[in-house]
Amino acid sequence: MKRLAMTIVAVAALAFAVGAPRAWAQQQDLANAQITTKDLGQGAYMLLGPGGNITIVTASDGILMVDAEFPPVHDKVRAAITAVSQQPIKAIVNTHYHPDHTSGDAAFIKEGVTVIAHENVKKRLLAGYTNGLTGNHTNGLPPDAVPTKTYSGNTGPTLKVNGRTAKVGHIANAHTDGDSYVYFPEINVLATGDILVLGRYPNIDFANGGNIKGMIAGIDRYLKIANFRTQIVPGHGPLAHKADLVTYRAFLIEARDRVAKLIKAGKSEQEAVAAHVFADWDAKLNANDQASANFTRVVYNSLKPPKAK
C-alpha cells in the first residue's frame, strides 16, 4: 500500500488532466496562440503550442519533423523552424490522425513536404471518424490534405538527413489504431505521440481502435528504447525522461485495474462513472467531474467487450 501511495503521489506530480477531445473542442483563439521553442541540443528542438507537441531535427541538408499542429499557427510554426534552420523540411511524420497533430499537414503538403503516417491514419482522415464519447462525426478530408506516404505493420520507414536518422515504429491499438513513434538514435530523442501525455488524463480513442492495454504496451516499447539520457517528447506536456515513463506506466496499470474491477462486478458504464473511481487522483490534480468521467469512460470502453450483434 505504501508503494502504491507513492506511485499515486508521483502521478499527481505529473498533473494529468483531461484527454485530447477537450483540446479540439476548446474555443481558443488559435490565431493568437504562441509557439515556444525548446532547444534539446544537437540540432533537435521541441515546439510547444496549442496542439500536439512538434519535434524537429535539423541537419546540414534538411529537417525531419514530427506532427504539424493546427492550421492557424502554421506561419508561427514555420517561423520557429526558420529561426533555427534555413534547410528544407524533408519529411513530417504524423503520430496519429487527431487534428491537433495533423490538421496542419495540408499547408506543408502544398509546400511540397512529404507527410508520412501509418496507413490507418490516412484511412480515417479520408473517411471521417466518430468521437466515441460524444457521438459527433467529423467528415473526411480531401486527398490533398492527408499523408502522402503510408506504411503498414509495426515497422515504418527509416528517414535520413546528414548524420541524423529517424526510425519510425507503430504501436497497435494504443491511443488509436494508427499510432507512430519516432526515435532519433544518434541524438537519443524519442517522440511518442499521445501514447504518452503529461499535464492531463490521457485520451484513449476506443471508437477508433484505442485500448488501454495497447497504451501500456506502447509505454513498454518506449521503456525498451529509452535509457536515462533519452529526451522524450510527449504528445502533450513538458519534456520527459525515462523515470516519467516508469511512473506513467504504473498509473495506466492502476487505472486499468480499478476499472476492470468494476467491469468484473457487473457495473455498467454509467455505474462506473458514478463510482468516482478516480476521485483520489481528481482531487490532487484539480480535475473536474467531466474530466474524471471521460477518463473512466474511455478506460471502461476499451476494456469492456462489445455486445454481440
**Average predicted confidence (pLDDT) for the chain:** 90
| pLDDT (0 to 100) of residue 287 | 79
Domains of the chain: 22-241 (3.60.15.10)
For 11, the grid coordinates are 502521478
pLDDT band at residue 28 under the 50/70/90 scheme: low
pLDDT digits (tens, 9 = 90+) for 36-74: 999 999 999 999 999 999 999 999 999 999 999 999 999
pLDDT in tens, 107-131: 999 999 999 999 999 999 999 999 9
Q: Report residue 26's pLDDT band, with 50, 70 and 90 as the boundaries.
A: very low
| β-bridge mates for residue 138, sequence order | 129
Name the DSSP letter for residue 71: G
Instruction: Assign 65 to helix, strand or coil.
Output: strand
Could you tell me what percent of the chain has a pLDDT over 90? 85
Q: What pLDDT, on the 0 to 100 scale, is given for residue 307? A: 65
Q: What is the mean pLDDT of residues 93-101?
A: 97
Query: Given a cut of 70, is residue 214 above it in pLDDT?
Result: yes
Q: Where are the beta strands (DSSP E) in the chain?
A: 36-41, 44-48, 54-59, 62-66, 89-93, 114-118, 129-130, 137-138, 149-151, 155-161, 164-171, 179-184, 189-197, 231-236
pLDDT at 22 over 90: no
Say if pTM beats, i.e. exceeds, 0.85: yes
pLDDT > 80? residue 95: yes
Share of the chain above pLDDT 70, in %: 89
**Who has greater pLDDT, 186 or 8?**
186
CA 18 from chain center: how many Å? 13
Compute the distance between CA of residue 275 and CA of residue 259 in angstroms, rounded to an integer.
10
Residue 11 pLDDT more than 50? no
| The residue to which cell 478530408 is assigned | 141
Please tell me whether residue 112 adopts helix, strand or coil conformation: coil
Q: Return the pLDDT at 306.
A: 66
Residue 75's pLDDT band, with cuts at 50, 70 and 90, is very high
Give yes or no for a contact between 116 and 147, defined as CB atoms under 8 angstroms apart. Answer: yes
CA distance 30 to 75: 12
* pLDDT of 29: 75
